[in-house]
Amino acid sequence: MKSTHQATKVYFTPGLEPCPIAQTSPRLIESEPWIAAIAQQSPDLIGMVSVEGDWRYLNPSGRARLGFSDRLPPFTALLSEAMFQLWHTTVLPQLWECGQWHGQLALESIWFDSQWFLIRDQHTDQLLGFATISRVIEAETKHFTAAESNLERNCERYLANAAHELRAPLAVMSSSIDLLTHDRLPIERSQKHFHRLRSKIQQMTQMLDDILLCREPAEFTLQVIDLDPVERCTDWIEEAQMTTDRHKILFTTESAVSSIRIDAELLQRILANLLSNSIKYSPQGGNILCRMAIDTNQLTLQVQDSGIGIPSAEHSQVFQSFYRASNAAGITGTGLGLAIVKQCVDRLGGQITVSSTEQTGTCFTVTIPL
């Protein structure tokens, strides 16, 4: 869809005062002497950067903030890797489209509340570069606003991913309802569509329950009950199996006891999310191995797949909320599944570990004291 923003054009006429930054730099861009005086005396960083990424002008306050008194390095050399990516993926595209950008940017590890503008020559309309007015963010404000900005980005990404996640089961449900309504299907095919509807409802319910679990306060009471772990896990695995035709879940058990005391809801969330994760990230299908071993002191649960795997450098990050592995870009997801698992395991006083190799598969091991 075409943007409705009107690009802002800021015009300047060349002055006569040479730029004090570098001998090879173009002349200082100014329209009136009083504008130059404001820039020279302002406590904020005021500057202009060429399209190539070099400083054309930087006022005394800006040079002092960045610790430079004479020649400046290129503007892009002051950006960290993360800020360089932000500049090229967010700031520049918005400058080209809208003519301006406002946000937080770090130069030489100093955080600024920055406003940037596209600058053109008023006579020729030739692009001259980008001008900025940037104010240093105090440490307390920076930490708050950076966290707030990160939360906002995570929420935006989650909402986009959740929309994709919910759209898929809704499409399947709509198709099955149409077939059941308009076609006279044999009993076997009708039962298949009813099962499909039930499994998609369970999938959507699980997603909404996960969102609520993330928002629950840390203080809560475990709802411990007596249950048959093999029987319960068999039921949950059958529910997971109904969500896929391309995978086969194989369940093996070694149990020295027939009953344990545990929070059934938390155990179900752990198993359901691990199985859902294995199904999602094994797009080619195949077997998913689920193993459970129980003695009087501990329950051990393993879920292993032969999917795309997780890059080794990211193993420690996969349990963070909203985090998605770098090789999962082509697969929709919310980034909440493993965070939910970790939260449930922690509430049960257990531990979870991951073993994974790219293009080979992943194995999650959960141990819970009884």
Q: Does residue 83 form part of some domain?
A: yes
Q: Does residue 60 form part of some domain?
A: yes
- Return phi, psi of residue 138, to 5°: -65, 155
Co-location of 361 and 231 in the same domain: yes
Q: Does residue 266 form part of some domain?
A: yes
According to DSSP, the β-strands at 100-107 and 286-294 are unpaired
Burial code (b: 16+ CB inside 10 Å, e: under 16) for 100-124 equals: bbeebbbbeebbbbbebbbbbeeee
- Residue 10: predicted pLDDT: 41
User: In terms of Cα–Cα distance, which of 338, 305, 346, 308 is closest to 321?
Assistant: 338
pLDDT single digits (tens) 248-274: 999 999 988 889 999 998 999 899 999
Co-location of 92 and 29 in the same domain: yes
Terminal-residue alpha carbon distance, the chain:
56
Assess whether pLDDT exceeds 60 at residue 128: yes
Q: State the average pLDDT for the chain.
A: 80
Co-location of 204 and 282 in the same domain: no
Q: Does residue 3 form part of some domain?
A: no
Q: Does residue 320 form part of some domain?
A: yes
- Whole-angstrom CA distances from 233 to 198, 259, 265, 284, 344 are 18, 12, 12, 25, 16
Give the domain extent around 156. Answer: 144-215
Co-location of 243 and 332 in the same domain: yes
- Residue 271: predicted pLDDT: 95
Co-location of 191 and 277 in the same domain: no
Q: Does residue 196 form part of some domain?
A: yes
Co-location of 248 and 351 in the same domain: yes
Domain end (from 137, 166, 191): 137
CB atoms within 10 A of CB 296: 8
- pTM (2 decimals)? 0.52
Domain end (from 86, 112, 137): 137
Q: What is the C-alpha to C-alpha distance for residues 190 and 201, in angstroms, rounded to an integer?
A: 17
CATH of the domain at 186: 1.10.287.130
pLDDT single digits (tens) 328-354: 877 877 677 898 899 899 999 999 999
